[in-house]
Amino acid sequence: MPRPVDEGQPYRLLVWVLLASIAINVGQAFGNATLVAAVAEMANRVEVKPFFITADLATNRVFRVTNAETDMPTYDRVALTLARRYVMLRESLDLQTEASRWVEASWLASEKVSEDFKSLVDKEGSYYKTMRQRGRTREIRIVASPEAGRVGRQRTYLIEFEQIDKEKGQEINKRSWIATVVMDTQKGSVRFEDALLNPYGNVVTFYDVAPKNTKE
């Protein structure tokens, strides 16, 4: 009895399956590349618009969601909070956290204000170096922070604070000062990574400290 002739159909089927699999994989790869490109393009066009949420943590209820760009009372609170924060970062001295605090202070200030502060710290015989050499610390307590003026989004604050110098934990000196702090916004859009910490891009554009007149 003659043997059947093998026409190679199983092999042709295997080839077609292989080609179809390759085509599907190529299509998926192209689709993924297109999706990545689309997401990257959208990321370049997305403008960060921070919002503030007013909530009650006790009841887990959200009362209000406001646009940070149009809510000026919220802007004022943020600007004042950052101005007070800057004073605390700059004027405190604990001989331990200066490096990290001064980095944050630099982040909250304009380039000129940051350079002026750096020059003050590095100056030979500066009170920062003197305090460090003597092992003294300086505690800062903010007493008041009234607003002294505004132009557009620029805010000027007169931040009164007490300076308590200590040596070996004992108070050795106490004085009252008033810091003039001008807060303004940086040009350009807010970076995404800064949106939660500094939603408006506020920076200190002017800083000066003078003793408080105790005769007032």
pLDDT in tens, 7-47: 555 555 565 555 566 656 655 655 555 655 555 555 555 45
Q: Please tell me the least confidently modeled range out of 66-80, 96-110, 140-154, 164-178.
A: 66-80
Written as one letter, the residue type at 162 is: E
Question: Can you tell me which residue has the tokens 């940086």?
Answer: 186
Nearest to 160 by CA among 100, 197, 214, 103: 214
Question: 141-152 in b/e burial notation, b at 16+ Cβ within 10 A?
Answer: eeeebeeeeeee
Residues 6 or more apart in contact with residue 112 via CB below 8 angstroms: 205
Question: pLDDT-derived band of residue 149, with 50, 70 and 90 as boundaries?
Answer: very high
Q: What is the mean pLDDT of residues 50-74?
A: 58
> In terms of pLDDT, which residue wins out, 181 or 189?
181
Query: Minimum mean pLDDT among 20-24, 110-114, 135-139: which range?
Result: 20-24
Task: Tell me, yes or no, if the pTM score tops 0.75.
Answer: no
For residue 68, the model assigns a pLDDT of 57
Share of the chain above pLDDT 70, in %: 61
The dotted CATH code for 72-211 is 3.10.450.230
